[in-house]
Amino acid sequence: MVAPVTTSAGGGAAKAAAPGRGPTRGNVLAWLVVVPFLAYVGTFLVYPTILVLAGAFQDSDGAFTLSNLTDLMKGVYLQAFWRSIELSAITALLGAVFGALLSWAVATGNPVGLLRRVVVAGAGVLAQFGGVPLAFAFLATVGFQGFVTKFLQDSFGINLFSGGAWIFELPGLTLVYTFFQIPLMVIVFLPALDGLRPQWREATESLGGSSWTYWRYVGGPILFSPFLGAVLLLFANAFSAYATAAALVSQGSPIVPLQIRGFLTGEVLLGQENLGKALGLGMVIVVGVAMGIYALLQRRVSKWQ
Amino acid sequence: MTPTPVLRLLGVGALAIALAACGAPPAKESSSSGTAAATAKSAADFGGIDKLVEAAKKEGTLNVIALPPDWANYGVMIKAFSDKYGIKVDSAQPDGSSADEIKAAEQLKGGDRAPDVFDLGLNVAVANKAIFAPYQVETWGDIPAELKESSGLYYGDYGGFMSIGYDAGKVPAPTKVEDLLKPEYAGKVALNGDPTQAGAAYSGVVMAALGSGGSADDIAPGVEFFKKLKAAGNFLPVDPSPATIESGQTPVVIDWDYTNAAQTAKLTGKLDWKVVVPSDAQIGAYYNQAINKDAPHPAAARLWQEYLYSDEGQNTYLQGLSRPVRLDAMTKSGKADAAATAKLPKTEGKQVFQTQEQADKAKQVLTATWAQAVG
């Protein structure tokens, strides 16, 4: 076994300026060059986040209130959160399992072969395939008037929608989300599989271990952290996805991002923007927890790479 | 590393770009008559209609928002106004909601792209009085008192009744709301939007309530109706549009009679789209017109208002099969387009218009129950 090498924190960071001296010319310039980046991040990430956090604690007149947060714990919104979490967890697991199998097929194949090139390129494109094009693709194939739906109906008498309009509800969202979760899993999990060195397998075999022993004592434990980390990343990816669901689901706003859409564009219930911001705060917390665990796992993973 | 002048320039340049990107919106051009036009409460304040036309022509542009061309004949209306006065009409976000209109006014305030005029559901109009400018059109006297805010902040422009549009080639003709529960309508009945968000869909639920034992005060039976519709497998949770109707995805659509009737006209020869206002459930509502207090083109905004409420504008609404607010007065004076009036979907019997209190109560019920009913 290889002993893990501990690296000091920030080992790769640039050398800090010598203490006790005023700002050097290089230092000022460095700051100057980083200003556009900070301005960009501040304008598009930090500022909106602060707006959402502040708005969550205000009523429509701008006074401090906790009622938005207590409303979050009420029926419709709490259910939306559970449904969102359920949808994200299921698609993350499905995506992780199928994506891992696909990655494994690629990793054990020819490193410069056609399969690998096609899958890696395809995954890069399909992981970003979402929103209206994705929703339309599914409606055109397995929608009510879809090509596949019609074909099954006409050729085999199979009615895809005998159980109701599932494509426009959570089952439909699950199917469609899994479609972009699998390629994302390939992208994040393939490097971990590539990190398994053939020498470890050879060492296991020369010491009399079977395939099972190898996966049980070597491969499995090493891949466990990156796998779990990838699941969390997929969870956050699905949890925060909006465009696909918005294009597909127009009734009932089953998940949180769609609830927020309702507060922003609705013309029936007015003055609920701050409740929307409270929902946003709830989403930030859920994703924050997932990403926090992911960061912890990454720290363990990096030892092996 | 030693910083070179080039690098330093790059840094400063990037900084300048970043600052420019966060710059202020362009200041609005001030027209000489701007202040006077912005406070004018009637054409008389301009010194008569001719002077108003003159001031509007000088501005040369009108910004409208959320007016779909196939909704209440707005496509024709915009073109006719533009041709008549030589004023360019910028139509933004044709598929926007009433809430989107108000948001645009807030976000673009002070710029020259802000909307000049609004076309709003009553709900949104009542909630946003603060951003309207009071203005009374020449034909103010013809507008029924219950459909106007007394100072002229907002008033009804056109209205209609909730209806069931259906493809007569695919489904039998429904006469009552309850008919839609029959097996012939399996997977075919769509509602125009989510009733907790879209005004038309909200009125669709009220219609269902009236047709299944509820009332304007009690819309719970309406939610119950859609729950039953879903359980029967008839409810189709697709947002209907002219495209879904034409492609046959949404053979039955619950929507305003004027939008359904517009499809009838548009699809003539392609499919037989018929419209019925269920006799046991006639819920009507008017949209409202208002002028943006901070309109970048205050005179053009007021001229648009005058045009909409002129005989010509009102007949344009009528030809789009909506019911213009001056319909009664114009029918009496013989100014209404008789051929268009004859084409309006028939309504007889008890007609219901919700009051603001009834609507507020209904919305509470919807928020609490809708998602569960169809989720």
Tokens representing residue A280 in the block: 């946003």
Indicate whether A229 pLDDT > 90.
no
Q: Is residue B87 pLDDT above 80, yes or no?
A: yes
Of residues A210, A214, A221, A223, the one with CA closest to residue A101: A223
Residue B25 pLDDT exceeds 80: no
User: What is the predicted pLDDT for the residue at B298?
Assistant: 95
Please report the residues numbered 27 through 86 in chain B whose beta carbons come closer than 8 angstroms to any beta carbon of chain A: none
Separation of alpha carbons A185 and A98, rounded Å: 8
- List the single residue in B with minimal CA-CA distance to A260: B197
Closest CA to A35 of B22, B9, B24, B16: B16
Q: In which band, very low, low, confident or very high, does the pLDDT at B204 lie, cut at 50, 70 and 90?
A: very high
Determine how many CB atoms are found less than 10 A away from the CB of residue A128.
12
Q: Which of B123, B371, B372 sits opposite A270 (nearest CB)?
A: B123
- For the segment A48-71, what is each residue's pLDDT rounded down to a tens digit? 889 888 888 988 777 888 888 888
Chain A hits for B373, Cβ within 8 Å? 252
**Contact state of B1 with A164 under an 8 Å Cβ cutoff:** no
B2 touching chain A per CB within 8 A: yes
The confidence score (pLDDT) of residue B20 equals: 43
What is the average pLDDT value for chain B, to the nearest integer?
A: 87
A chain contacts of residue B3, beta-carbon cutoff 8 Å: 25-26, 29
- Give the contacts of B145 (CB within 8 A, at least 6 positions apart): none
Picking from A25, A168, A267, the nearest residue to B3 by CB comes out as: A25
A166 touches chain B (CB under 8 A): no
pLDDT of residue B31: 45
Q: What is the pLDDT of residues B51-72, one digit of tens each?
A: 999 999 999 999 999 998 888 8
The alpha carbon of residue B109 is apart from the nearest alpha carbon of chain A, in Å, by 18
Chain B, nearest residue to A248 by Cα: B238
Interface test with A, best of B238, B356, B363 (most A CBs within 10 A): B238
Answer with the residue of higher pLDDT: B199 or A96: A96
CB contact (8 A) between residue B374 and residue A252: yes
- What is the C-alpha separation between B22 and A179, in angstroms, rounded? 38
Average pLDDT value for residue range A165-175: 86
User: pLDDT value at position A304?
Assistant: 56
Q: Are A245 and A260 in contact (CB under 8 A)?
A: no
A251 touches chain B (CB under 8 A): yes
CB-nearest to B371 from A43, A76, A143 is A76
Distance CA A100, CA A189 (A): 7
**Number of H-type helices and E-type strands within chain A:** 14, 0
Q: What is the pLDDT of residue B114?
A: 95
DSSP string, B313-345: HHHHHHHTT-EETTHHHHHHHT-S-HHHHHHSP
β-strands B252-256, B189-191: how paired? parallel
Residue B18 touches partner A, C-beta closer than 8 Å = yes
The residue written with tokens 């299944």 in the block is B212
Q: How confident is the model at residue A23, as a pLDDT? A: 60
Question: What pLDDT is recorded for position B90?
Answer: 95
pTM: 0.77
How many Å separate Cα B163 from the centre of its chain?
16
Is the pLDDT at B11 greater than 70? The verdict is no
Determine the residue among B194, B288, B360 to mutate to test chain A binding: the one whose Cβ has the most chain A Cβ atoms within 10 Å. Answer: B194
User: Residue B124's closest CA among B363, B371, B308, B365?
Assistant: B363
Q: Show the tokens assigned to B281.
A: 């459930």
pLDDT at B244 over 50: yes
Contact list in A for residue B199 (CB cut-off 8 A) is 267-268
Whether B197 sits inside 8 A of A251 (CB atoms) is no
- pLDDT tens-digit series, residues B149-197: 999 999 999 999 999 999 999 999 999 999 999 999 988 999 998 898 8
Contact between A26 and B2 using a beta-carbon 8 Å cutoff: yes
| Higher per-residue confidence, B55 vs A9 | B55
Confidence of residue A92 (pLDDT cuts 50, 70, 90): very high
pLDDT of residue B233: 87
Q: What angle do CA B203, B152, B29 make, to 5 degrees?
A: 105
The more confident residue out of B266 and A238 is: A238
pLDDT of residue A22: 58
